Amino acid sequence: MRQLVAVVLACAGSAAALGWDAPGHRVITTIALERLSPDAPAWLREPERRDGIIWQSAEPDRWRGLRSNFLMHENAPDHFLDIEDLEHYGLTLETIPPLRYQYVAAMAVARHEHPRGLTGNLKPHNPKLDQAGQQEWPGFLPHAIMEHYARLTSQFRTVRILEQLNEPARAAQLVMARDNVAVTMGLLSHFVGDAAQPLHTTRHFNGWVDDEGKAWKDNPYGFTAARTFHAYIDGGVLKLHGLADAAALRGQATGAPPEIKTGEEWPATLAYIGRSFERVRPLYELEKTGGLKKDEGKAFIRACLTDAGAMLGALYNAAWKASEPSAKDVADFVRYDGFGKTEGEVEEAGTNPPAPPAVEGGQ
């Protein structure tokens, strides 16, 4: 019976640890789309396209509705980063390896050398209670943001190449390429939005816990330990303050979003997540004092949402700027694609037209 209760509680905690509810993600995406740079393509401003991107921003949470270990293992850890738990592996937010599997390798080595972590408080992973492995690591939120950003840059480049080629026979390709952009813009929005919800950056994601993730027997700060706190921040507090509608925030995020230059995306993402982490304790303090339900709470949540909208807009604009194709990019695309060529023309170009440059040893 104790094992059954533990499983139920683990599942309940996992289910509660969504990001903002769908309205919150739609608000963030709307703010970002309103802050696209003037040179962004006109087709991104078409109402139907914008509505599709906005709707797509909640898609990664819809994936969670399928109880598949394969999908949960890949998707669930992308929604959070428990920053305090990095210390178990000798890491900090600033020293996380930027590549996902190098990050995993560093943690695996640390766990092998120190089974209880460098702090002595690391709980061993229990596969019986977490078959999908979604609670095994501190989370991959910054990696999810950067990987979707890179995909978006690549997809923008494909669109621009197809537009330059301007071949009627490629019309369906251009439609699909633009749809790919819209899908990825929505997915990127989701994870950028999750990072602005402070409870997605902490081990205290659903009530204040001790260093081992257990509820405090004698809570030293008097912070809430309610297992409904995360869900309340995701949606309840937005409804309370009328922030579940983008119209309520229109005009709050003024001016151009901060510029993110090529090569600065990773540190900008870590700094953004760090700002959210700094809001964890103030959020709990607001709940404790009752301020969360007052104007100060409304201002606090508004700041989270507008920060997310500004960051997302900056990433959208950075991806568009970085996607400008060179003449070589266009030529390589045509050779690799082989679209519309006869068999003889393909052979003349080379039986194995060059693909985009790959890392040595890659497939």
249 with 349, same domain: the answer is no
Q: Please state which of the ranges 241-245, 305-309, 344-348 shows the lowest mean pLDDT.
A: 344-348
Quote the percentage of the chain above a pLDDT of 90: 77
Question: Does 54 score more than 50 pLDDT?
Answer: yes
Question: Does 254 score more than 70 pLDDT?
Answer: no
pLDDT digits (tens, 9 = 90+) for 162-193: 999 999 999 999 999 999 999 999 999 999 99
C-alpha–C-alpha distance, residues 242 and 229, integer Å: 18
Q: Are 187 and 60 in contact (CB under 8 A)?
A: yes
For residues 70-90, average pLDDT: 96
170 with 257, same domain: the answer is yes
Note the pLDDT of residue 251.
64
149 with 244, same domain: the answer is yes
pLDDT digits (tens, 9 = 90+) for 119-147: 998 988 999 999 999 999 999 999 999 99
83 with 56, same domain: the answer is yes
- Within-domain flag for 142: yes
Question: Does 349 score more than 60 pLDDT?
Answer: no
335 with 265, same domain: the answer is no
pLDDT digits (tens, 9 = 90+) for 256-285: 568 999 999 999 999 999 999 999 999 999
Confidence tier at 358 by pLDDT (50, 70, 90): very low
Confidence tier at 1 by pLDDT (50, 70, 90): very low
Confidence tier at 9 by pLDDT (50, 70, 90): very low
CATH code for position 266: 1.10.575
- Within-domain flag for 222: no
- Within-domain flag for 258: yes
Question: Does 83 score more than 90 pLDDT?
Answer: yes
- Within-domain flag for 363: no
Note the pLDDT of residue 15.
40
What phi and psi values does residue 199 have, to the nearest 5 degrees?
Answer: -70, -5
CA distances from 297 to 29, 49, 145, 300 (A): 22, 33, 27, 5
Note the pLDDT of residue 218.
72
351 with 252, same domain: the answer is no
- Within-domain flag for 281: yes
For residues 277-297, average pLDDT: 97
Query: Which pTM was predicted?
Result: 0.89
Total structural domains in the chain? 2
C-alpha–C-alpha distance, residues 77 and 80, integer Å: 6
Note the pLDDT of residue 200.
98
C-alpha–C-alpha distance, residues 198 and 80, integer Å: 10
Which residues are CB-neighbours of 40 under 8 A, at least 6 positions away? 316, 317, 320
Question: Does 356 score more than 60 pLDDT?
Answer: no
Note the pLDDT of residue 17.
59
Query: Residue 207 pairs with which residues in a beta bridge?
Result: 205
318 with 349, same domain: the answer is no
Which residues are CB-neighbours of 81 under 8 A, at least 6 positions away? 93, 138, 139, 140, 141, 142, 195, 200, 201, 273
Q: Please state which of the ranges 16-20, 214-218, 315-319 shows the lowest mean pLDDT.
A: 16-20
Q: Helix, strand, or coil here: 209?
A: strand
Confidence tier at 112 by pLDDT (50, 70, 90): very high
For residues 291-301, average pLDDT: 97
Radius of gyration (C-alpha) of the chain in whole angstroms? 22
Question: Does 230 score more than 90 pLDDT?
Answer: yes
Question: Does 352 score more than 80 pLDDT?
Answer: no
241 with 349, same domain: the answer is no
- Within-domain flag for 218: no
242 with 352, same domain: the answer is no
What the block records as the tokens of 19 is: 């990001």
- Within-domain flag for 221: no
Task: State the residue range of the domain holding 346.
Answer: 330-357
Q: Which of 88-102, 257-271, 336-350 has the highest mean pLDDT?
A: 88-102
- Within-domain flag for 180: yes
Average pLDDT, the chain: 88
152 with 33, same domain: the answer is yes
336 with 204, same domain: the answer is no
Q: Please state which of the ranges 72-86, 213-227, 292-306 shows the lowest mean pLDDT.
A: 213-227
Helix orientation angle between 22-33 and 295-322, rounded to the nearest 10 degrees = 50
For residues 1-14, average pLDDT: 40
Q: Helix, strand, or coil here: 202?
A: coil
C-alpha–C-alpha distance, residues 82 and 138, integer Å: 5
46 with 179, same domain: the answer is yes
C-alpha–C-alpha distance, residues 306 and 165, integer Å: 38
